[in-house]
């Protein structure tokens, strides 16, 4: 028979077997179970399907919901690879980046089903089937009772099965699954990763691993490499030099930039390039390198500036506004043109900071061609990649996590879990770990009890904000005997308050035209004058200050990312000013 289920439940008795805790049927999973049974029974190829597969652990990577175990609705195995299929029954809707049961937006789904399936995929890939390097892993989601068009920036429609879009696959869930394999593999091919069909020997190995002793905890005893290594000090870098390609993942303040400095110190008399995400970080990094007087010859620039240098006819504003795919194609075309004219000169080493914002903009093409030899820098180049997935916009349809995982095939990958930046104020680290998932925590009446070392101030309008800044921040800085110094402070402002006007009135840039207050720029970013400076939150990404004063609107799904970035810029203190 072309399809085998594990366990093999009687197809006519599923309502008594696949049930909720209260004993009522899980109709979504039941309907998909029967659909898979009916369609794949007529298939020309073999399929194996595990239903309600419980794994005793969860991968540390891509663990969006901090789970300690995994429960997979359907694991689908064929010669093409493995699909993790997550099921949500009943009507489903989305609003403000949240999934809801029903259409009234009153019953939020606690977990984004696409992120949920992705996390399970990496648990299998990293922890359970990690010895099967040739096996392809991907994920999909099914809303079997959605009989209406379903559009959302939260989803990739190529990975979603509904009763409405079933007609796109002639009503066949097999055609949908084959399309998931083809579509997912095509994204990998874009980054030089191709997958052959699973060999018969590998197929049998997978089945033996997953069944029938999946519940045996001893089957999955794994060593937490990070705990074993105990990454706490910069000395760990000494152990990484045997591998010239290093990826370091970690939250803000975990020491990634410190590692980068140590890495560069070792590149004696070599020509290198340090790529930053934005201009402020670029100029600040330049000032640090000038102070340290590195022996290497280092070009410090941004990814955008680097490629504008080779495309002078493209205005910088147009270049920086390109979509990820447009930028990728521009990088590809530029490299081909340089190779054709014999003008592509590789660097001895490359450092990429804040790489999570560059992964899907052709960063792999850049690394491959601008390091190493024979255009094989991912295999023989010398590079250090620093990134933090949480600081990317990966939740808005970009496949940043996927590309990061692809690059780890070529790199020694370390994950630094501890943030050292705010060690003297643990409330900052605690809040930063909460804000992306629970932005409403800022409005909770128990906030002061939970975070006693973080102040929240509320203001009626921007004029009130200006008055508060002058009286409570600028005035103490101006006083000669004050311990508060301008060089230790930064005002970080939500971008909506710097757009030229706000609600038809002056924005904060206009209101803050005051003596001893100035906008942080590329020219003064390394200046230590006793002035109070401000910037947009996103422009300050990658930088830090002892004291951070945030100016934000009411917390929502639209600004939670900016709030997270702002909070994680603080070394000692953060004050949050909310404009009502």
Q: What is the pLDDT of residue 249?
A: 86
The tens digit of pLDDT for each residue in 89-98 reads 999 998 877 8
Distance CA 1, CA 88 (A): 28
Q: What is the pLDDT of residue 237?
A: 53
Question: Which of 296, 256, 257 is closest to 273 using CA atoms?
Answer: 296
Q: What is the pLDDT of residue 395?
A: 42
- Which residues are CB-neighbours of 362 under 8 A, at least 6 positions away? 327, 328, 330, 331, 332
Q: What is the mean pLDDT of the chain?
A: 83
Same fold, 225-415 and 426-579: yes
Which is more confidently placed, 524 or 139?
Answer: 139
Lowest pLDDT segment from 12-26, 62-76, 150-164, 397-411: 62-76
> What is the rounded average pLDDT of the residues 147-168?
89
Residue 222, Cβ neighbours under 10 Å: how many? 10
Distance CA 60, CA 155 (A): 23
Specify the DSSP class assigned to residue 123: H
C-alpha neighbours within 13 Å on the C-beta side of residue 353? 28
Owner of token pair 């990312």:
561
Of the ranges 116-120, 219-223, 415-419, which is most confident? Answer: 116-120
Q: Is 162 left (phi over 0), alpha (psi -120 to 50) or beta?
A: beta
- Which residues are CB-neighbours of 11 under 8 A, at least 6 positions away? 33, 34, 37
> What is the rounded average pLDDT of the residues 108-112?
88
Q: What is the pLDDT of residue 434?
A: 83
Q: What is the pLDDT of residue 392?
A: 60
Distance CA 2, CA 44 (A): 7
Distance CA 440, CA 556 (A): 7
> What is the rounded average pLDDT of the residues 488-507?
83
Rg (CA), the chain: 26
Reported CATH class of domain 426-579? alpha beta
Tell me the helices (H) and strands (E) count for the chain, helix number first. Answer: 20, 20
Q: What is the pLDDT of residue 559?
A: 85
Of the ranges 124-138, 168-182, 443-457, which is most confident? Answer: 168-182
Distance CA 76, CA 563 (A): 39
**In sequence order, what are the beta bridge partners of 577?**
457, 551
pLDDT of 128 higher than 60: yes
The tens digit of pLDDT for each residue in 37-76 reads 999 999 999 999 999 988 766 565 555 555 555 789 999 9
Q: What is the pLDDT of residue 538?
A: 85
CATH number at 225-415: 3.40.50.300
> What is the rounded average pLDDT of the residues 491-514?
83
Q: What is the pLDDT of residue 64?
A: 55
> What is the rounded average pLDDT of the residues 328-341?
94
Which is more confidently placed, 62 or 302?
Answer: 302
Task: Work out the angle between the directed axes of helices 324-340 and 363-370 (0-180°, nearest 10).
Answer: 20
Residues of 69-105 as b/e, b for ≥16 C-beta within 10 angstroms? ebebbbbbbbebbbbbbbbbbeebbbeeeebbbeeee
**In sequence order, what are the beta bridge partners of 5?**
49
Percent of all residues in the chain with a pLDDT value above 70, rounded to a whole number: 86
> What is the rounded average pLDDT of the residues 275-304?
81
Which is more confidently placed, 277 or 447?
Answer: 447
pLDDT of 321 higher than 70: yes
State whether residue 60 is helix, strand or coil: coil
> 396 vs 325, 431, 529, CA distance in Å?
14, 22, 40
Contact present, 359 and 387 (Cβ < 8 Å): yes
- Which residues are CB-neighbours of 60 under 8 A, at least 6 positions away? 224, 226, 415, 417
* Secondary structure element (H or E) that encloses residue 369, with its range: helix 363-370
Starting at the edge strand that comes first in sequence, how are the strands of the sheet with 412-415 ordered?
A: 297-302, 271-276, 349-352, 383-387, 245-249, 412-415
Lowest pLDDT segment from 113-117, 190-194, 563-567: 190-194
Torsion of CA 473, 475, 477, 480, to 10 degrees: -160
Report DSSP letters for 293-325, one per residue: T-SSEEEEEEHHHHHHHT-TTS-HHHHHT--HH
Q: How far apart are the first and last CA of the chain?
A: 64
pLDDT of 212 higher than 50: no
3-state helix, strand, coil in the chain (%, to 5): 40, 20, 40
Q: What is the pLDDT of residue 437?
A: 79
Q: What is the pTM of this model?
A: 0.60
pLDDT of 391 higher than 70: no
Q: What is the pLDDT of residue 213?
A: 38
Q: What is the pLDDT of residue 424?
A: 55
Q: What is the pLDDT of residue 485?
A: 87
Is the C-alpha dihedral spanning 130, 248, 393, 375 positive or negative? negative
Question: Which of 122, 144, 108, 165 is closest to 36 using CA atoms?
Answer: 144
- Provide the residue ranges of all domains of the chain, joining segments of one domain with +: 3-220, 225-415, 426-579
pLDDT of 185 higher than 80: yes
Contact present, 473 and 547 (Cβ < 8 Å): no
Contact present, 284 and 525 (Cβ < 8 Å): yes
Distance CA 35, CA 41 (A): 10
Distance CA 100, CA 112 (A): 10
Question: Which of 488, 539, 477 is closest to 514 using CA atoms?
Answer: 477
Which is more confidently placed, 399 or 155?
Answer: 155
The tens digit of pLDDT for each residue in 392-414 reads 654 445 667 788 888 888 888 88
Place 544 in a pLDDT band, splitting at 50, 70 and 90.
confident
150 burial type by CB count under 10 A (0-12 exposed, 13-18 middle, 19+ buried): middle
């Amino acid at each position: 028979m072309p399809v085998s289920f594990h366990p093999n439940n009687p197809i006519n008795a599923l309502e008594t077997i696949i049930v909720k805790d209260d004993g009522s049927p899980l109709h979504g999973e039941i309907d998909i179970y029967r659909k898979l049974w009916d369609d794949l029974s007529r298939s020309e190829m073999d399929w194996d399907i595990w239903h309600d597969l419980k794994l005793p652990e969860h991968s540390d990577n891509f663990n969006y919901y901090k789970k300690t175990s995994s429960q997979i609705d359907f694991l689908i195995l064929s010669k093409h690879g493995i699909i993790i299929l997550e099921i949500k029954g009943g009507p489903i809707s989305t609003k403000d980046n949240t999934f809801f049961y029903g259409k009234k937006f009153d019953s939020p789904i606690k977990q984004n089903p696409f992120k949920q399936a992705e996390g399970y995929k990496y648990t299998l890939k990293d922890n359970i089937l990690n010895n099967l390097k040739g096996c392809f892993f991907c994920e999909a989601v099914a809303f079997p009772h959605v009989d209406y068009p379903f559009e959302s920036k939260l989803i990739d429609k190529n990975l979603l099965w509904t009763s409405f879009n079933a007609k796109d696959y002639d009503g066949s869930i097999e055609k949908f699954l084959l399309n998931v394999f083809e579509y997912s593999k095509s994204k990998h091919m874009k980054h030089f990763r191709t997958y052959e069909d699973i060999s018969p020997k590998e197929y049998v190995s997978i089945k033996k691993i997953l069944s029938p002793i999946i519940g045996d905890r001893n089957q999955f005893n794994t060593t937490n490499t990070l705990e074993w290594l105990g990454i706490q000090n910069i000395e760990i870098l000494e152990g990484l030099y045997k591998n010239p390609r290093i990826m370091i993942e970690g939250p803000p303040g975990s020491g990634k930039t410190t590692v980068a400095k140590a890495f560069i110190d070792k590149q004696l008399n070599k020509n290198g390039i340090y790529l930053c995400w934005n201009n402020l970080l670029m100029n600040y990094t330049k000032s640090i390198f000038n102070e340290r007087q590195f022996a290497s010859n280092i070009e410090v620039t941004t990814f955008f500036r680097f490629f504008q240098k080779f495309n002078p006819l493209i205005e910088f504003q147009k270049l920086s506004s390109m979509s990820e795919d447009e930028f990728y194609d521009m990088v590809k075309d530029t490299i081909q043109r340089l190779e054709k004219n014999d003008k592509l000169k590789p660097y001895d080493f490359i450092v990429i900071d804040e790489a999570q914002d560059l992964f899907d903009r052709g960063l792999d093409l850049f690394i491959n061609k601008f390091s190493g030899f024979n255009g094989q820098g991912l295999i023989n180049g010398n590079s250090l990649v620093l990134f933090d997935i949480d600081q990317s916009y990966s939740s808005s349809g970009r496949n940043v996590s996927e590309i990061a995982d692809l690059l780890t095939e070529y790199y020694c990958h370390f994950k630094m879990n501890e943030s050292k930046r705010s060690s003297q104020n643990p409330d900052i680290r605690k809040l930063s770990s909460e804000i992306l998932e629970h932005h409403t925590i800022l409005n909770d009446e128990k906030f002061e009890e939970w975070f006693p070392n973080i102040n929240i101030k509320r203001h009626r309008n921007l004029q009130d904000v200006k008055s508060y800044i002058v009286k409570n921040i600028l005035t103490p800085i101006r006083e000669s005997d004050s311990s508060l110094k301008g060089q230790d402070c930064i005002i970080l402002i939500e971008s909506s308050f710097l757009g030229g006007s706000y609600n038809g009135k002056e924005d904060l840039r206009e209101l803050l035209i005051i003596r001893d207050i100035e906008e942080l720029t590329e020219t003064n970013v390394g200046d230590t004058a006793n002035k109070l400076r401000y910037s947009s939150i996103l422009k300050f990404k990658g930088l830090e200050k002892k004291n951070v004063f945030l100016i934000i609107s009411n917390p929502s799904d639209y600004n939670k990312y900016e709030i997270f970035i702002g909070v994680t810029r603080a070394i000692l203190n953060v004050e949050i000013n909310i404009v009502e």
